[in-house]
Amino acid sequence: MNETAIRQYLNRLNVQTMIQFHILDSIDSTNRYLKSLTSSNITEVCCAETQTQGRGRFGRVWQSLPGENIYCSIRKPFHGDLKQLSGLSLVVSMIIVAALNAIGIDQAIQIKWPNDLLWNNQKLCGNLIEIVSQNQQEHALIIGIGINVNANTQESAWCSLSDITGKTCDRNRLVAELIAQLEKHLELFLTHGLKPFFSTWNTLDYLINQPIRLNHHKNELTGIARGIDETGRLMLMDERGVMHYLSSGDTSFAIIPDDTFQRI
Ligand code: BTN
């Protein structure tokens, strides 16, 4: 990864934001690194060639092989109520899809609620958002993005951009696009919430109308996924036609194979 190259792409994209880059060979986690910085009024971006303790959601490990993929975190100051942020990880997933589209990848990439990017039913990318709060109104958003770019994914449940395109991909250009798309959409989300993103979500929603089984607060629930509500919760209609609204933090689920589920 190369700061000069990223800045050149950002200039071409006309991104004027003040950015401090931290381009590292190796770090435990780019999210953890940005979390440890003292408070700052500008955007900070950390990219590493490898992470020794890359973190995924629910405390999982994010495997971070050297030199092939994107391990990038973006830190932005946020002044406001944390309630405004519900649905942010869905928006970040849509931003990543927009960045991929902008570099010419328009194959059917979908988002599995809340934030896994899939191609061909295989995971391509994930994001992990963390927040550092100074007080009730002053925070730093840390948006961590892991994308399989040029990794060899044979015999794994994963895929990479090179599987999709058959070519190697310029990681500096993609990081610049991620920053540009974030600049374009984050403010819109913070001002208007998820509403302006619904139509995009509906075109990318992997779960829509799929039968799924959920573990929610130790209860098992089966039903059909019916999209998201205005705060980004998954809407699940059960066999009795009752709608359930589920938050990502307390929900794990599996898609039920078609032939074992009585469609409603
Ligand atoms: C997931 O579980 O799907 C989210 C994975 C997020 C991984 C990225 S890689 C860059 C950043 N640093 C981390 O330690 N995690 C995120």
Which residues lie closer than 8 Å to 5 by C-beta, 6 or more apart?
A: 172, 173
Residues whose beta carbon lies within 6 Å of some atom of ligand 1: 29-31, 51, 54-57, 60, 62, 71-73, 116, 126-128, 144-146
> Ligand 1: which of 50, 62, 130 to mutate, most ligand atoms within 8 Å of CB?
62
User: What confidence tens digit (pLDDT) does each residue in 69-91 have?
Assistant: 999 999 999 999 999 999 999 99
Helix (H, G, I), strand (E, B) or coil at 7: helix
Q: Does residue 252 carry a pLDDT above 70?
A: no
Q: How far apart are the first and last CA of the chain?
A: 50
Q: Which atom of ligand 1 is nearest to the CA of 29?
A: 14
Count of all residues that appear for the chain in the document? 264
Q: Say what percent of the chain tops pLDDT 70.
A: 95
Element at 162 (helix H, strand E): helix 161-165
How far does residue 126's CA lie from ligand 1's centre (Å)? 6
Beta strands in 99-208, from DSSP E residues, in sequence order: 109-112, 116-119, 122-133, 138-147
How far does residue 44's CA lie from ligand 1's centre (Å)? 16
Structure tokens at 127: 């994001």
**Among candidate residues 10, 45, 49, the one with its CA nearest the CA of residue 27:** 49
Element at 245 (helix H, strand E): strand 243-246
Sign of CA dihedral 177, 180, 184, 190: positive
C-alpha to C-alpha distance for 174 and 162, rounded to whole angstroms: 13
In 10 A of CB 65, how many CB atoms? 15
pLDDT at 263: 46
C-alpha to C-alpha distance for 127 and 130, rounded to whole angstroms: 10
Element at 72 (helix H, strand E): strand 70-79
DSSP 257: P
DSSP 197: G
Q: What is the pTM of this model?
A: 0.94
DSSP 69: S
Q: Which atom of ligand 1 is nearest to the CA of 116?
A: 3
Q: How many helices (H) does the chain have, and how many strands (E)? A: 6, 12
The predicted model gives 101-121 an average pLDDT of 92
pLDDT at 107: 80
The predicted model gives 236-248 an average pLDDT of 90
The β-bridge partners of 21 are 45
Residue with tokens 């994963």: 158
> Ligand 1: which of 128, 143, 175, 252 to mutate, most ligand atoms within 8 Å of CB?
128
How far does residue 226's CA lie from ligand 1's centre (Å)? 27
> Ligand 1: which of 1, 24, 27, 31 to mutate, most ligand atoms within 8 Å of CB?
31
How far does residue 45's CA lie from ligand 1's centre (Å)? 14
- Which residue did the predictor score with more confidence, 62 or 254? 62
User: What confidence tens digit (pLDDT) does each residue in 184-237 have?
Assistant: 999 999 999 999 999 999 999 999 999 988 877 777 889 999 999 999 999 999
The predicted model gives 157-173 an average pLDDT of 92
How far does residue 222's CA lie from ligand 1's centre (Å)? 29
